[in-house]
Amino acid sequence: MKKRIISSAIIVLVTALFIIYSNKILDSLIVFALSLAGIYEYNKAFKSAGYRPISFIGYVACSATFLVGESVPEETKMMILKCILPILLIGSFVYIILIKLKRNIVDVAITIFSLLYIPFMFSFIKLILFLEGGRFFLAYVIVVAFVGDAFAYMVGRTIGKHKLCPEISPNKTVEGSLGSIVGVTLAGVIMTTIGNFYLGMSLNIWSMLLAGFVAGVAGQFGDLAASAIKRFCNVKDFGNLIPGHGGILDRFDSILFIAPIMYIFLKLYM
């Protein structure tokens, strides 16, 4: 518990500095680093289960996060993506053929899924940053994710009795899930108040509460999705980089789902 609290404090400090200090190069490097670490942990989990994902394909795909949101013409971005995706897919098959099928189609499927699940989903962090008021909205995403996780953990440990998804994550409870929704709602009110009264924004409280609610639900599904992968691979955590929390994917699993949902919401309603 002590390690978890200390790690959480460090994460909050680093996150605050990241949000306050605006630097496009640093933004890109952080998203790239998160993607690399996520791919490493994902591949390690599947390797422990006897599968053999093609690691270098995942690492190469992470470099595409540098293009997201940058001042590159849209036509150029689309052309690059149209080239990269077929090359990675074809390259995966060429690779397993050249090594005489020491890897199989399941390994290719696991590899291709990792590209969508990790660097693609993490890239929405950069897309949010390039919106007007992007750094505030990224703070909103992170606060919603962390507060939701914290309330689910505390409420679940305190009064949790009814299992939420025992087949996937035995420790998660219905009470913890409801506590997470309450926490996210409170966080949404606080963040909206900060935006309107201290940052001079004109945020609609009901829209932001709806965004927080949807993001909170998405975050719980993100958590359960990561738990499903760990369950399948028979691992407790994806890593041990963050004491008391596990690895990058253990800590950021909810953000992988919240960031895309929040970006879509902002594009549609803001």
Q: What is the pLDDT of residues 138-148, one digit of tens each?
A: 989 988 888 88
Res 72 pLDDT > 80: no
Q: What predicted TM-score, i.e. pTM, was given to this entire model? A: 0.86
| Mean of pLDDT over the chain | 84
pLDDT of 258 reads 93
List residues bridging with 163 in a β-sheet: 173
159: containing domain:
2-269
Res 17 pLDDT > 70: no
Q: Which residue type is seen at 197?
A: F
Q: How many domains does the chain have?
A: 1
pLDDT of 166 reads 83
CA dihedral 237, 184, 262, 163 (to 10 degrees): 50
Q: Mean per-residue pLDDT for 97-110?
A: 81
Reported as a single tens digit per residue, the pLDDT across 187-216 is 988 999 998 988 888 888 888 888 888 988
- Which tokens hold the place of 232? 């399948």
- Which tokens hold the place of 70? 């940058």
Q: Which residue type is seen at 158?
A: T
Nearest CA among 229, 225, 217, 57 for reference residue 144: 217
Reported as a single tens digit per residue, the pLDDT across 112-138 is 999 999 999 999 998 898 888 888 999
- Cβ atoms of 108 and 93 closer than 8 Å: yes
pLDDT of 70 reads 60
